[in-house]
Structure 1
Amino acid sequence: MFNQKVAWITGASSGIGEALAVALARQGARLVLSARREDELQRVALATGLPAEAVLVLPLDVTDADDLAEKVQTVLARFGRIDYVFQNAGITQRSLVQNTDPSVYQRLMAVNFFGPVALTQAILPHMLAQKSGHFVVTSSVAGKIGVKQRSGYCASKHALHGFFDALRAEVANSGLRVTMVCPGYIRTPISSSALSASGEVYGKSDKAQEQGMPADECARRILKAVASGREEVYIGGVETWGIYLKRFFPAVLSRMLRNRAVEQ
């Protein structure tokens, strides 16, 4: 399925992105690894075990839209095509609405929504020309429900669903696919790097995150969903049940969320 395919992974320096890089390498993919920290990308490149010619370390800030067209051309010059784009770059928050500085919401939307949109628009003409391609977008269970202290994060992930559901409909007859991935609690550093109400780093790891699904198991399930052509997949533990409660028993979920304790 992925052998000799070119897979571009954003947020590849840690967490789910890093796990995807290792999993895809085992299946023979050629990789483009992007994130802001080049030293961490180099570490991940070594961890994949791929020969140098099969992996491109491409530092990238998804909020720098002016730089994306040049980055796409760099990938095409190296590999000649882009088959998969795994969009994992993202940040979260830990703050109440009443306390949150507007700049925090702007940052969350810039990284989690406008960044993936801009990269998609930069890559889309190439995929349409080659009449194939697959966007795999990491949303969240929070992209389906609203949770205390994550208002901006939830908003940015909800927005992803609207955009990529629309894109899926537009390119359905062009050979392109879109898969939305909604992880629950996965063992990654996302909570410790969350934004506080003032925009500073939260610096704490959530207990639920620490006890969550290992990132490599999450990556395995993502690739299984992509290989089977799934449009949307929910990955995690009992927290994913919240999506079904929202659909079939919304009042029950609302009561549960209201009674949820505020994190200190």
Structure 2
Amino acid sequence: MADRRTAVITGASSGIGEACARAFAREGLHVVLAARRAGELERVAADIAAAGGVATVAPCDVTDPAQVDALVARALAATGRLDVMVANAGLGYNGRLDETDTETMRRLMEVNYFGTFHAARAAVGHFRTVGAGHLFIVSSIVGRKGVPRMGAYAATKFAQVGLGESVRAELAGSGIHVTLVYPISTETGFRSAMAREWGQDVAGAGPRQSPDHVAATMVRALRRPRADVYPMRASRLVAVAAALLPGVADWVSTRFTRTPK
């Protein structure tokens, strides 16, 4: 249906991406589900269809710009429009700086930063053509304040934030919105993905939230665009503390360090 808004969601096979897909579909959007695991995308799409929503499966590796361009082209071919891009695909890692090799850092940057860059670039190019659109970048609270043993991951999240804030300023007044999302530790398959990718078994610490909670805050920003979304409102203080009281923020961050089991 050409009058149904379309949202492309990367990393839609699990976690925040899956929850966002379900929530946006309930809002009446045609969701285009992107991730590497086609079988998991089919499962999510079937659930959305059973609930009365509309979903298209589009397997994609976000580290490949040609595949991301093809993803946008597929969304346009399938639905006739692209209104929302959710750059959510991501990969975690736990380790001190001296435990992090160059290839690991490159892999994190390829998925977390370049995956976001490719998705944002492809979507914003289309948004400029039509004069409207909404880009969501799912970062992390560690994109505002680094924590011990997550320096490599935090670096990619800071990079996402720098990109998003700059693009938002470039698009000011254009009718195109950019929203940065800063979840705290979320109950997803994030740690199981770390186990698959790096063989890491890591224990979490501190408060957590559900993917559905994050998705609900994103729906509110979809309805009424906002620059920044902190799904746990109190976590906004982390950014303030990091800027004004860095020493105190460093001390506090040690209490929320993820450690190997």
TM-score (norm 1): 0.89
Following TM superposition, by how much is the alpha carbon of 1:111 offset from its aligned partner in structure 2, in angstroms? 0.5
Does structure 1 retain, via aligned residues, the 8 Å contact 2:93–2:194?
yes
Distance 1:220 1:258, change over 3 A: closer
Q: Give the letter aligned to residue 208 of structure 1.
A: A
4+ runs deviating over 6 angstroms = none
Aligned position for 1:248:
244
Work out the CA distance in 2 between the residues paired with 1:50 and 1:134. Answer: 27
Following TM superposition, by how much is the alpha carbon of 1:262 offset from its aligned partner in structure 2, in angstroms? 6.5
Aligned position for 2:198:
200
Aligned position for 2:143:
143
Following TM superposition, by how much is the alpha carbon of 1:50 offset from its aligned partner in structure 2, in angstroms? 5.8
Q: Which moved further from structure 2: 176-185 or 45-54? A: 45-54
Distance 1:99 1:207, change over 3 A: closer
Alignment of 1:176-215 (within 5 A): 176-194=176-194, 200-204=198-202, 206-208=203-205, 212-215=208-211
Q: Which moved further from structure 2: 37-46 or 166-175? A: 166-175
Work out the CA distance in 1 between the residues paired with 2:233 and 2:123. Answer: 33
Work out the CA distance in 1 between the residues paired with 2:38 and 2:118. Answer: 21
Work out the CA distance in 2 between the residues paired with 1:166 and 1:90. Answer: 20
Does structure 2 retain, via aligned residues, the 8 Å contact 1:183–1:236?
yes
Following TM superposition, by how much is the alpha carbon of 1:115 offset from its aligned partner in structure 2, in angstroms? 1.3
Work out the CA distance in 2 between the residues paired with 1:26 and 1:180. Answer: 22
Q: Give the letter aligned to residue 103 of structure 2.
A: S
Q: Which moved further from structure 2: 97-106 or 233-242? A: 233-242
Aligned position for 1:7:
7
Match of residue 225, structure 1, among 203, 207, 221: 221
Aligned position for 1:113:
113
Aligned position for 2:57:
57
Q: CA RMSD in A?
A: 2.3
Q: Give the letter aligned to residue 17 of structure 1.
A: G
Does structure 2 retain, via aligned residues, the 8 Å contact 1:96–1:148?
yes
Structure 2 portions without partners, runs of 5+: none
Following TM superposition, by how much is the alpha carbon of 1:125 offset from its aligned partner in structure 2, in angstroms? 2.0
Matched, 1:152 2:180: no
Q: Which moved further from structure 2: 97-106 or 219-228? A: 219-228
- Count of matched residue positions in the alignment of Structure 1 and Structure 2: 258
Distance 1:79 1:104, change over 3 A: same
Does structure 1 retain, via aligned residues, the 8 Å contact 2:13–2:44?
yes
SS of residue paired to 1:191: helix
Does structure 2 retain, via aligned residues, the 8 Å contact 1:213–1:237?
no
